[in-house]
Amino acid sequence: MIRRFAKSEDGAATVEMAIVSTLLFTLVLGFVDFGYALYQWNAATKAVQLGARLASISDPVATALATAAPTTTPGAPVVAAAYGPFVCTYTAGTGVCSNGGTFNAANFSRIFRGDTAFTNDDICPIITAAQRPTTRPGMCHFFPGLRRDNVVIAYSATGLGYQTRFGGPVPTITVSLQNRAYQFFFLGALLGFDNLTMPSMLSTVTGEDLKSTAS
């Protein structure tokens, strides 16, 4: 009886299928999640590129930037590190800029939300078909789920512009992301990948007119 039971293979296929299917489902779901992670990485890259472009043609978030450069020698170059850097972030419902930059929420919103109506929140408004010809999108439109506290905007002096320039100094502007984790639908629960932090995406451009009416 015992010998016959030991040689029996009834149900072996079911057990093997249960083992193989677990590995197969994990592999398939892993492909789905990592594909979505790649999408998030690409969306974050596009968002910071757009944010840097908008920051370069918009009123600065750090309002002190307009008068930050030295004025003792009109026409002389503004040397590197002559002012700032002004690093602006949004934390706990309010924004701050380093070095006394004075955070302007409306100007920050224009970079984050584009030309849509200003509100001091993380909601990204939908741009309708009728609005698209005249409404520029913001960072949140390129990276769904992006929050204000993920965005860092820095203005620094790198030897551009000249003293008493009518439009103010010409900063180098860097837009980057912080404290952003990849979102995994399946592997987060199975393998704990929900704590995988996204690398700091950044884009650096040269400031232009720095006013809202620039194109």
User: Any idea what DSSP says for residue 118?
Assistant: P
> pLDDT band for position 5 (50/70/90)?
very low
Tens-place pLDDT, residues 45-98: 999 999 999 999 999 999 999 889 999 999 999 999 999 899 999 987 789 999
Tens-place pLDDT, residues 113-133: 999 988 888 989 999 989 888
Tens-place pLDDT, residues 85-104: 999 999 877 899 999 989 99
Q: Do 163 and 69 touch, CB atoms closer than 8 A?
A: yes
Q: Enumerate the domain spans of the chain.
A: 2-206
- Whether 210 has a pLDDT exceeding 70, the answer reads no
Phi and psi at residue 137, to the nearest 5°? -75, 165
- Whether 8 has a pLDDT exceeding 70, the answer reads no
β pairing state of 202-206 and 151-156: unpaired
Task: Write down the pTM of the prediction.
Answer: 0.83
* Amino acid found at 43: A
Q: What is the pLDDT, as a whole number, of residue 10?
A: 54
Q: Do 118 and 111 touch, CB atoms closer than 8 A?
A: no
Q: Report residue 19 as tokens.
A: 């083992």
* Nearest to 41, CA basis, from 148, 181, 185: 181
- Whether 178 has a pLDDT exceeding 70, the answer reads yes
